[in-house]
A = this chain, B = another copy of it.
Amino acid sequence: MARASLNYMEMALEQARLAADRGEVPVGAVVVDGQSNEILAAAGNRVLELKDPTAHAEMLAIRQATRKTGSERLVDVDIYVTLEPCPMCATAMSFARIRRLYYGASDAKGGGVEHGPRIFSQETCHHAPEVIGGINETVAASLLRDFFSERR
């Protein structure tokens, strides 16, 4: 994998850490223009802060990115997420025409890419990004583990 990709995942992990500091489940996302390498958005979970069950890191980052580009379709755009996206976020990535999804830890309980509904494999999914999982997996997973163990 290119060095740049690792740096973007580092940025997503930093967003996840900031989310944990706010008391949110530590997941972070970064959206990058795949042509220019411009960072279009960076966000962490804000479900509790915004009292919004849809305010996952990926949703906030996609909405930031489309606001920035002025189009509801993100062509040649990649997303880096610290955790396997849930079915809501995976479907949003399909709608946004995301080119490539890089993610960290997999999520057997709530993921929707390699688990559960496997959104991108559905016949009714009209655009599927290329998917590359397992990036910085141990760091992303330990962030989540630490967060939940502190709350038990």
Residues of chain A having any CB pair with chain B under 8 Å: 47-48, 50-55, 59, 62-63, 66-67, 70-73, 86-88, 90-92, 95-96, 108-112, 115-119, 122-126
Contact = CB atoms under 8 A, between A and B. Distances in A.
Contact of A124 (B59, B70, B116): B116
B62 A96 contact: no
A72 B52 CA distance: 5
A45 to B, nearest CB: 11
A88 B122 CA distance: 13
Given A53-B66, A117-B117, A124 B112 contact: yes
A91 B112 contact: yes
Contacts of A110: 124, 126
Given A51-B71, A54-B62, 8 more contacts: A50-B72, A53-B95, A55-B72, A87-B87, A109-B124, A116-B117, A117-B118, A117-B119
Nearest to A67: B51
A59 B66 contact: no
B91 A67 contact: no
Contacts of A117: 87, 112, 116-119, 122, 124
A54 B87 contact: no
A70 B47 CA distance: 12
Contact of A53 (B92, B109, B122): B92
